[in-house]
Structure formats: structure tokens, C-alpha cells
Structure 1
Amino acid sequence: MTLDRVIIALDFPSKKEALKIVDELDELISFYKVGLELFLNEGKEILKTLKKREKKIFLDLKFHDIPNTVQRAVKTSLNYGVDMLTLHTTGGFEMMKRARETVEEAKIRENVSLKLLGVTVLTSLDSKSLEEIYGLTFDIPSLVKKLAMLAKKTGVDGVVASAHEISTIKEHCGRDFTVVTPGIRLGKLSHDDQKRTVTPQEAFLRGADYIVIGRAVISSQNPREVLLNLFR
């Protein structure tokens, strides 16, 4: 396990709080996730600041809309120099394909290296949750496999998925198909809304290319020490 495959989630409402963690983990972590809360509060300024500090950015906004709208959103996101960008696989083939084409065009014109990732099934959802939403019974591993294969067919670079489904994804989509795994926990958290969680060691053993760690590190009294102990 290496720290260059660890993405720290900056799940904060303000730039000040986010940068405090970035400062504390400075030489240890080069990759950070910016999600909806931080981006909506701070906008492109937080992205500019992270780039100035030579950090990699996982912009996790999970686009899900009609193809034209998502295509335009992806095009705008390319202006920020982000390294990873997410969209929901349930947006469908055409939405993902148009997004991927936009990224490919930018790679040719501007030499960008962004990875476009499809979100499969949120780690906060289990079979019961999906039945409540759709009124149907789903086998989550089978559903994740189907969504990952759809994403692969569109040409996107990989998916965001629970560690429980990594082996199936790699088997059907190839070893070079990137899998980013959230829902990483070091132990039981109170008020935890994640249902399908694993430890960092389990995620990497199952084949995760990157893991996303949030509360387990950023909510601790000593984030740096927690991270160092984790990978000793």
C-alpha cells in the first residue's frame, strides 16, 4: 500500500478547514477529493488553490442529467485542471459517451490527463435501499457489474465502486479499468451512513487502484498520526 494511491476527501464546508488538513498532510498526500459541499461553498477558488500547491484533484460532483447538459458541465470542468471527474453510470450510455468524447477532444487539443469515472452504486445503498427506490429487488454485485460494463463500453476510464465488487469489475472490464473505492473505514463510526464499507487493507487486497478516505482521517484528533499508523 502506498500513500500515492490514497485520496483524502475534503468533506468540509469551507476552504479554511480544507486547507488546514492539506497543510497537516502536506508531504504525505498529493491527491484530494472535492465534493459538492466544498465546491458549492468555495467554487473554483478551492481548485485553483490546490493546483497552486501542486495537488491532484478528484472533483466528485457525480453529474447526472441529459447528455447535452452533462457534456457541457464536463467541458467546463476541464478548465479547472482536475485529474478525476465523476458522473453517474445510471445517466445512461449516451450521457457517458458524450462526456467521454468531450474529454478525448480536450486531450488531443490541450494535452489534459483527466480520468472520467462512472459512479455505480453508492456505498450508502444496500439491496433494501434500492428496492425502496425502484420497487424491484436487485443483486448489488450483478447490478454493479452491469453498470461497470456499460461504462467500459462508452470508453470512460473507470468506475467508483465498493471494494466488494472490485474483483467482478476487473474480471469483466480488464485490469487496466480504474476502480476508485470509497466507503473506507478504520473502525465503526457513530452516525455512519455508509453501509458497504471496508478497511484500506481490504480494499487494496481486493484490487482497488485508489481509495478515498474521509471521516476516518479528517475527523480524528490527529489526522497525520492516524494516516501514518495506517500504513506502517
Structure 2
Amino acid sequence: MDHSLIIALDFADRKEVQKFLKLFGNEQLFLKVGMELFYKEGPAMIAALKDAGHRIFLDLKLHDIPNTVRNAMRNLAQLECDLVNVHAAGGKEMMAAALEGLAAGTAGGRKRPRCIAVTQLTSTSEQQMQHEQLVSVSLKDSVLHYAALANQAGLDGVVCSAWEAEAIRAQIGSRFYTVTPGIRLGTDEVQDQKRVATPQFARNAGVSAIVVGRSITRAIDPLESYTKWMKMWRGELE
């Protein structure tokens, strides 16, 4: 199992990112670049992070008609990120098209980026899903359904909460990659997340990788916080 800890670079611009990463010296990290940062700084931000030796999760959550997603992924593949994603709600055809685009855009001899699908956002509650999306099944059933579709489309895994990861592993298998945001310590504020969990819970549930943002990026000592999180994630500290 991968057992990666992905740091969410929830910063406004490149200057803030550089200031943060300077605290880590030459340590190579797994970093998530989301919409805010990518739309501000563009592909040059990815290139700079890759040149520094970091692994990159480009979190843009593509959701459009299959042809558009295919062409977009062909372009994104050229950035040589390690992980990209789409919304599972776009459907099986769209997810398969994403993989086709990634394969077409990946240079010969290179490994294509791993592609995962967002099931239900961890900021979504069951009540919200049923009342606003008009999805009548339980939130867990919705996530499992989307995970099954992603698997049928050939994707490498899904974004889900730690609360659904164990059921996904039982349904699809441990090789299916599960990435979980909404990870908090018992003392942290949950903020805009609804389905949160501790790193210990996520590890016990068989989550492949966790995404941690403010608990590290806004800490008084980010390097110390990162070290503590890694120990908890690896089971070295309870």
C-alpha cells in the first residue's frame, strides 16, 4: 500500500508556496495543487515543483463531456504530474475518455499519471446529497456506486472519505487507490469538511493516501507538524 501523506498547497500564489517549502529544505514531498493555485500560476507552478523533486497531485476535478475531458487530459499529461482526477458523476464514458487522453499525452517511456475519481465531496452531508442532488440512496451507497463505475472505467482509484474506504476495499480490492481528504486531529476544527476522520482511523480503514492542508500549512511550525503527522500516519505515534 502507498501510505502517502499529501500536503494540500492551499496558498494564493507561488510566493507563498516558496516561503512554505523553504521550511522543508531539500525534503521531497507529495504536494496537492488545487484550482486556486493552478488557475493563478498555471503549468509553470507544476514545472517548478517537479524540478524540485516533489510528487504532484493536480486536483482539478475535471467534469465535462467525454471529448473535452479527453483533450484536457492529453494536455495535462504533458505536465507529468503523478496524480490527477475527475468527477465520477461525469459517468463511465467520461472517465474512460480521461484515461485515453492521459495515455495519448504521456511521452513514450514515461508512466502515465494515476487517475482517480471524486465520489462525493467530503464537504457533502447525506442530507445535502439527498435534498440538493436528489440522490435517494444513502451517501455510502452513492460512494460505492461511483467507486464501482470508476473501476469499470479503468481508473486507478477514487477520492472518498475514510468512512467509506473500508467498504470500497472490500468491494473492489486493496489495489484500488483511495485518497482521503478531510483528515483532522481530534483537536482540530473541521471547518468546511463534514465527513472528517483522524489519521489513525484512516490508516485502520486501509486508506492509501491522506490529504492534509491547514493542520500543516497553517501550523506555527509546519515542519514539526508534518513530522508529527507522518508518525501518526505510519502508526509510530498515537
Q: What TM-score do you get using the length of structure 2 for normalisation?
A: 0.90
Does residue 60 (structure 1) correspond to residue 59 (structure 2)? The answer is yes
8 Å Cα contact 2:76-2:102 kept in structure 1 = no
Aligned residue number for residue 234 of structure 2:
none
Aligned partner of 1:173: which letter? I
Root-mean-square deviation over aligned CA pairs:
1.9
Aligned residue number for residue 117 of structure 2:
118
Aligned partner of 2:115: which letter? L
Aligned partner of 2:36: which letter? E
SS at match of 2:226: helix
Percentage identity across aligned positions?
38
Q: Following superposition of structure 1 onto structure 2, how do residues 1-232 of structure 1 map, counting pairs within 5 Å?
A: 5-106=4-105, 109-190=108-189, 192-230=191-229, 231=231, 232=237
8 Å Cα contact 1:106-1:112 kept in structure 2 = no
Aligned partner of 2:30: which letter? F
- In the alignment of these two chains, the number of paired residues is 231
8 Å Cα contact 2:74-2:101 kept in structure 1 = yes
Partners of 1:218 and 1:48 in 2: CA distance: 21
Question: Residue by residue, what CA displacement relative to the aligned partner does 1:49-103 show, whole Å, maximum 9, x if unpaired?
Answer: 1011011100000000000111111011011111000100000011001111222
Partners of 1:163 and 1:103 in 2: CA distance: 27
8 Å Cα contact 1:148-1:169 kept in structure 2 = yes
Partners of 2:35 and 2:130 in 1: CA distance: 26
Partners of 2:25 and 2:183 in 1: CA distance: 21
Partners of 1:73 and 1:188 in 2: CA distance: 40
Q: CA deviation at 1:109?
A: 3.2
Structure 2: runs of 5 or more not aligned: 232-236
8 Å Cα contact 1:33-1:57 kept in structure 2 = yes
Q: CA deviation at 1:27?
A: 4.8
Q: CA deviation at 1:113?
A: 3.5
SS at match of 2:223: helix
Partners of 1:35 and 1:26 in 2: CA distance: 23
8 Å Cα contact 2:80-2:106 kept in structure 1 = no
Aligned partner of 2:181: which letter? P
Aligned partner of 1:55: which letter? H
Identify if the C-alpha distance between structure 1 residues 76 and 104 changes in structure 2 by more than 3 Å, giving closer, same or farther. closer
Identify if the C-alpha distance between structure 1 residues 82 and 209 changes in structure 2 by more than 3 Å, giving closer, same or farther. same
